[in-house]
Structure 1
């Protein structure tokens, strides 16, 4: 994907009269739109899980109540066994949330990174306040903030997880933007620009798809 990405970045920059910043933004939207069908499928699965969890939750609560005063190993094993039986009864798989879009982003991001590095024209251009081919001190913070906001929006719309799972996800949601920001400080500003624009796209996409696939409550 590196060579086609580099050609497309140059092509769109020429369309925008040499503006490589606008070219990268347009490329970001094209990449996100290409992944959109997978994201729509993932959202459908998440909505189906949410509906099943609404039915399953009272039984899970009763199960926890049943074993709350018994901390023995046998009781824990029995509780896990009965929980799996409940999952099978309701055909609920907590791991079936669709990881393909998330996994697909990494090779795309790497390809985009090397396309930027192998397109020397980018390094000679500025966009807004920063040079696309050099590191920037502000843009990584913006990219990290955007992805943290995206995580918070996604978590606020998700109700299928138990509290302990949400706490674990909150830690991941905090660490990922921090790691992204730290890595961005050592990369050409074109890449955190791609991440920031992509994060905004994902945030809007999350809200829209959740509204699209959420069934209206019965009166």
Structure 2
């Protein structure tokens, strides 16, 4: 609800060009300076505004690394306590107010003991949402950016070949799949596949600048996940742990058999 409210608030502004004469915090400060930043960076690359958007996006994502790293760590810890959460739901399955209140109390106790916050997973998205809305409006409401070209696209128009939206969706899917790898329980499959489809749907209809932002941003997320939350390393560690547990169980059964055999011999 908070994210939807933020979208409504930020998008409820005019469509007139933003200039140095624009007023208000959102138009005169955020959008205008966002457009200036893109233009300033682009000037270092011969006025290529597509490269300017890429560089600005990478800078923003680098600044958000602490937030996204915390989010990934929080999600991992949430995954580890999922079995306990399910046990609580089964134990307090009755729908009467008293039982549901007890369920909430037990869940909060479990969250506190595990040191996790179920709502922190939305933090990076809440931080990024004003960014990509500002980017969209900065490009579409700044004349020099809305008419700029990058490779095969006009930054103010949708990608005619859908290449950037598809790349944005694939990077989103790749990061979602990697985040679910190496966990005791897989995450929500609906979210895993719905988010990439939503990204594609949004970027197909809007400007190529936004599609470029999502493609670069989610590509950065894939690299960040590989560096800080390497799923292949986690899978290897999980398999090693399972192998050790199986070996320990085999040794335990062998010991039990020997103990039973020894006791029978004593009786004889």
Q: Mark yes or no: TM-score above 0.5.
A: yes
Q: Could you say which structure has the greater relative contact order, defined with CA pairs below 8 angstroms and 6 or more residues apart?
A: 1
Deviation, 1:173, is 2.2
- Native 8 Å contact 1:45 1:96 kept in 2: no
> Equivalents in 2 of 1:87, 1:79: separation in Å?
12
Task: Show the counterpart of 2:259.
Answer: none
> Equivalents in 2 of 1:114, 1:83: separation in Å?
41
1:122 paired to 2:151:
no
Task: Show the counterpart of 2:57.
Answer: 28
Structure 1 residue runs of 5 or longer lacking an equivalent are: none
Q: Quickly say closer, same or farther: Cα 1:108–1:158, change in 2 above 3 A.
A: farther
Q: TM-score, normalised by structure 1?
A: 0.74
> Equivalents in 2 of 1:26, 1:207: separation in Å?
21
1:101 pairs, out of 95, 114, 124, with 124
> Equivalents in 1 of 2:139, 2:177: separation in Å?
30
> Equivalents in 1 of 2:107, 2:53: separation in Å?
48
1:143 paired to 2:168:
yes
> Equivalents in 2 of 1:120, 1:86: separation in Å?
52
Deviates more, 1:191-200 or 1:180-189: 180-189
Task: Show the counterpart of 2:10.
Answer: none
> Equivalents in 1 of 2:150, 2:200: separation in Å?
19
- Native 8 Å contact 1:63 1:79 kept in 2: no
Structure 2 residue runs of 5 or longer lacking an equivalent are: 1-29, 245-268
1:180 pairs, out of 173, 178, 199, with 199
Deviation, 1:126, is 2.1
Q: Quickly say closer, same or farther: Cα 1:88–1:198, change in 2 above 3 A.
A: same
Q: Quickly say closer, same or farther: Cα 1:86–1:171, change in 2 above 3 A.
A: closer
1:131 paired to 2:154:
yes
- Native 8 Å contact 2:68 2:124 kept in 1: yes
Please give the residue correspondences for 1:1-219 in structure 2 after superposition, counting only pairs within 5 Å: 1-49=30-78, 53=81, 57=83, 73=94, 85=106, 88=109, 91-92=113-114, 93=116, 95-136=118-159, 137-138=161-162, 139-159=164-184, 161=185, 166=187, 169-211=188-230
Deviation, 1:144, is 1.6
Q: Quickly say closer, same or farther: Cα 1:81–1:196, change in 2 above 3 A.
A: same
- Native 8 Å contact 2:88 2:106 kept in 1: no
SS in 2 for 1:140: helix
- Native 8 Å contact 1:184 1:191 kept in 2: yes
